[in-house]
């Protein structure tokens, strides 16, 4: 059944970064709706929980080597994440993605997955760099309730992989992780790559070929200005259209036209009929803000209505209150402040203070 959108007054976000604080009270119509609505009529169905800001990679487009992580005492506990998931599910959230940092570094990951499964009917997905995955852990997480895994892989060449990730492992370890996920029934496995001009953009077709393996969906994400070094350079940015053209010189593609309107990716099949799909996520060249259905909560308990929000709201007080109704009201208020779009290409755009690793992918 289609639910008619409510007509709500629009929240106007100030374009100045503020210290974390409580969100303003949303109108009573938003609270009465029983679901998470923003002032532009969008409904939140996807919650992204960042379990940690820690990561064992230092990818050049994300995190500088000298980044210092938050003190463990400042981060949410496992039962906080489960409680947030349960309350959000009661407000209409149907998909929960566990992110980081690198979420597999969290010592209670299995406990969190199991708690979310017990208390919600949500789909549970995990985004990881794949370096820490093994069959034993994957089997346990699937038994606990994990549905799907998304893995990042930016190069198939060992030396280049090392330069990009600044990590000790190589692409073979990540490719093995993909196989392990498929073997444990955690597919289809989505594999994400970020291409940077002059770094790995010549691998577009090689990476796309991974999607010709059963159970793998390859996706290319445009590089966004969310790096800790603030080195994002539009001259090194590679558009989705350019990536698609490079792939089609080897593998002609045809649009699938099957994506949900709120999906981040636009998906294509191989024109030769080979199974598999290639997706393009284009937040810079083709923003999908108008149909965004996502809300983020950082590992230290800040609600971010948009990946590029300049305001974030501290939910830790609501969590400590002991009342689910207080948490639910806070989420309604915070969601209502969601901005209409991120405006990366606008002259007034400001990169958020937090990098991607501290926000959660």
Bridge partners of 48, per DSSP, are 97, 296
User: How many domains is the chain built from?
Assistant: 1
User: Strand order of the sheet with strand 253-255?
Assistant: 253-255, 265-270, 277-281, 216-222, 189-195, 148-152, 123-128, 95-99, 46-50, 294-297, 302-304, 313-314
Q: What is the CATH number of the domain that holds 335?
A: 3.20.20.70
Residue 308: what pLDDT? 85
Q: What is the pLDDT along the chain (361 residues), one digit of tens a residue?
A: 343 444 444 444 444 455 558 999 999 999 999 999 999 999 999 999 999 999 999 999 999 898 899 999 999 999 999 999 999 999 999 999 999 999 999 999 999 999 999 999 999 999 999 999 999 999 999 999 999 999 999 999 999 999 999 999 999 999 999 999 999 999 999 999 999 999 999 999 999 999 999 999 999 999 988 888 888 888 999 999 999 999 999 999 999 977 666 677 899 999 999 999 999 999 888 877 878 999 999 999 999 998 888 899 999 999 998 899 999 999 999 999 998 877 787 788 888 888 888 898 7
Sign of torsion over alpha carbons 289, 232, 229, 60: positive
- Nearest Cα neighbor of 59 from 249, 216, 203, 194 is 194
Cβ 306 vs Cβ 39: under 8 Å: no
Sign of torsion over alpha carbons 217, 221, 226, 227: positive
The reply to whether 302 falls in a domain is yes
Cβ 82 vs Cβ 49: under 8 Å: no
Specify the residue for token string 């393996």: 213
Give me 306's structure tokens: 């948009």
DSSP 270: E
Residue 4: what pLDDT? 42
- Chain centroid to CA 344: 17
Question: Three-class SS of residue 222?
Answer: strand
| Start-to-end CA span in the chain (Å) | 31
For residue 106, the enclosing domain spans: 40-359
Residue 127: what pLDDT? 98
The reply to whether 91 falls in a domain is yes
**In 10 A of CB 1, how many CB atoms?**
2
The reply to whether 4 falls in a domain is no
CA atoms within 13 A of residue 171's CA, in its CB half-sphere: 17
Bridge partners of 216, per DSSP, are 189
DSSP characters for 30-86? HHHTSS-B-TTS-B--EEEEE--S--S---TTT--TT--PPPGGGSPPHHHHHHHHH
The reply to whether 79 falls in a domain is yes
The reply to whether 263 falls in a domain is yes
Cβ 312 vs Cβ 2: under 8 Å: no
Question: Three-class SS of residue 75?
Answer: coil
DSSP characters for 115-133? HHHHH---EEEEEE-STT-
Bridge partners of 266, per DSSP, are 280
Residue 7: what pLDDT? 47
The reply to whether 24 falls in a domain is no
Cβ 315 vs Cβ 301: under 8 Å: yes
The reply to whether 99 falls in a domain is yes
Question: Three-class SS of residue 268?
Answer: strand
The reply to whether 351 falls in a domain is yes
pTM for the model: 0.92
**In 10 A of CB 295, how many CB atoms?**
24
Question: Three-class SS of residue 283?
Answer: coil
Residue 5: what pLDDT? 44
Cβ 351 vs Cβ 316: under 8 Å: no
Residue 87: what pLDDT? 98
């Amino acid at each position: 059944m289609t639910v008619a959108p409510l007509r709500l007054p629009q929240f106007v976000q100030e374009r100045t970064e503020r210290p974390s604080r409580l969100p303003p009270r949303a109108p009573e119509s938003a609270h009465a709706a029983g679901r998470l609505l923003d002032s532009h009529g969008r409904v939140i169905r996807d919650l992204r929980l960042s379990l940690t800001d820690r990561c064992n990679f230092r990818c050049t487009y994300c995190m500088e080597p000298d980044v210092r992580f938050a003190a463990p005492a400042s981060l949410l506990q496992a039962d906080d994440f489960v409680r947030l998931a349960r309350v959000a599910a009661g407000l209409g959230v149907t998909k929960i993605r566990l992110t980081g940092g690198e979420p597999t570094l969290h010592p209670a990951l299995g406990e969190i997955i199991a708690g979310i499964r017990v208390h919600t009917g949500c789909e549970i997905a995990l985004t990881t760099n794949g370096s820490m995955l093994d069959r034993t852990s994957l089997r346990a997480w699937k038994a606990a309730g994990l549905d799907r895994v998304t893995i990042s892989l930016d190069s198939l060449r060992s030396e280049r992989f090392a330069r990009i990730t600044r990590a000790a492992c190589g692409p073979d370890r990540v490719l093995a992780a993909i196989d392990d996920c498929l073997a444990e029934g955690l597919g289809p496995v989505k594999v994400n790559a970020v291409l940077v001009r002059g770094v790995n953009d010549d691998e577009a077709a090689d990476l796309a070929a991974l999607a010709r393996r059963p159970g793998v969906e390859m996706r290319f994400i445009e590089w966004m200005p969310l790096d800790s070094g603030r080195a994002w350079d539009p001259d090194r940015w590679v558009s989705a259209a350019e990536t698609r053209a490079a792939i089609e010189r080897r593998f002609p593609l045809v649009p699938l036209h099957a994506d949900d309107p709120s999906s981040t990716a636009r998906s294509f099949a191989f024109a030769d009929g080979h199974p598999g799909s290639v997706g393009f996520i284009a937040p810079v060249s083709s923003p999908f803000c108008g149909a965004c259905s996502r809300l983020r909560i950082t590992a230290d308990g800040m609600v971010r209505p948009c990946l590029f929000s300049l305001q974030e709201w501290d939910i830790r007080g609501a969590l400590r209150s002991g009342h689910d109704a207080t948490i639910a009201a806070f989420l309604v208020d915070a969601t209502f402040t969601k901005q209409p779009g991120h405006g990366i290409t606008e002259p007034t755009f400001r990169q958020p203070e937090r990098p991607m690793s501290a926000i959660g992918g």
